[in-house]
Structure 1
């Protein structure tokens, strides 16, 4: 006879799996910002250390590496992060680290050992998972019925795309005006933006052709709202296209008052189309 506890155990397991999935975006954000304390807290609550973005395939470890967060990356490795996983572009965390000379050599060495299976986990850093109680939470207070239409539930915010690690070197004060560049590593792509009177990047526009998984190619242009601050000639951040269909991660530095070198990363909602990393050198026009 089947045990009466089996359905209950399956239910608890399902609740645990759903809760773990919900913590994935929070864990990726914590890894991106290098918030070690929050990473510990989320892991203790049952967050999946390898929770990957459905749009980009990026894991918390990849984000920590991309932003040069050595302690965050090491804590994730100590708690079972798999350095061999690949994102939608086929890149591992080590591949991302090797893209930039500014990534800490110690971090690259840790990733190399993790890929080779020789990484020595620190037992004192392994986070103990606190089991979740199967007791249901109290029901919310009843709400008086309304006669009007029921509002549609709010759509969850799209996960922003982050820029590459901030360059180690500082730049120079940017000259206000309109800048334009033809991308060097993605043929047919153009980037334009304005440096406003406050010294911020504004009206960031991308024009070019991208390929979807269906094989179709589309040529479009998008202008992202908002501005990016420039500190010591260096900028790094994310901007979202107004309709939420595209995300921009932008980083770079001004090498002269009217010249800037940088990278733009473009991704598409739902992960149905390609993600590009574009290298460019823009000049004032």
Structure 2
């Protein structure tokens, strides 16, 4: 006979949902990833602010919930913020949802949260599904130091400039990307960041979930990276730190000082070489004084 489970047979009872703004994470593909607490909040909400009311109406219907919906996309966020402040100040519960995942992670909602916080009213996160975290788990790359960069610029030149600002080794990078731009973005990443190990994750939690792993250059040429459909998250490994010699550091600092003041020059060379910024600043002052 199996031993009885040490856990209670039922989940803890729901807590009362008090007036405030609730930032509710919703499933990124699999509807069963909805949390019990998110359902409690949406059931109690007097108003749900939604990125797309049609998408959110389907979600609510799937769980037998009914709530008043108001649009809160990038074009309606100011109006939604005013409504939220008025309703919460009047003692109501307002929930904010995006089409999928966690609000404000490359999704609308920042303006609403900012205004509610500014008004001194309560704001509560209701955590749940996140494509960023799901991709990190699936990629098999270090996740102890991570930088989330959202969407890169659509044009190659601007994209390379943005990537150059993120090129410091030692941290895993996470990007959102669209299918038509995926291969070109991966090629630019390989050129600017080096041929780092990476993973392209697609349709996370859905029926056709996929994860392609390999060096950036191989992924850029992979058939599966040529304009695939679905939601895409790219995870790029931290890369190897390059140890520069003292002569190389001095040469880089000397060149930087032809364009920049000592502080910015030290910061630039520190990013390029991994050398200590304070030590570089002191060295920059010595170089300037010696000229």
- Per the normalisation by structure 1, the TM-score is 0.24
Higher strand share: 1
Higher helix share: 2
- Per the normalisation by structure 2, the TM-score is 0.24
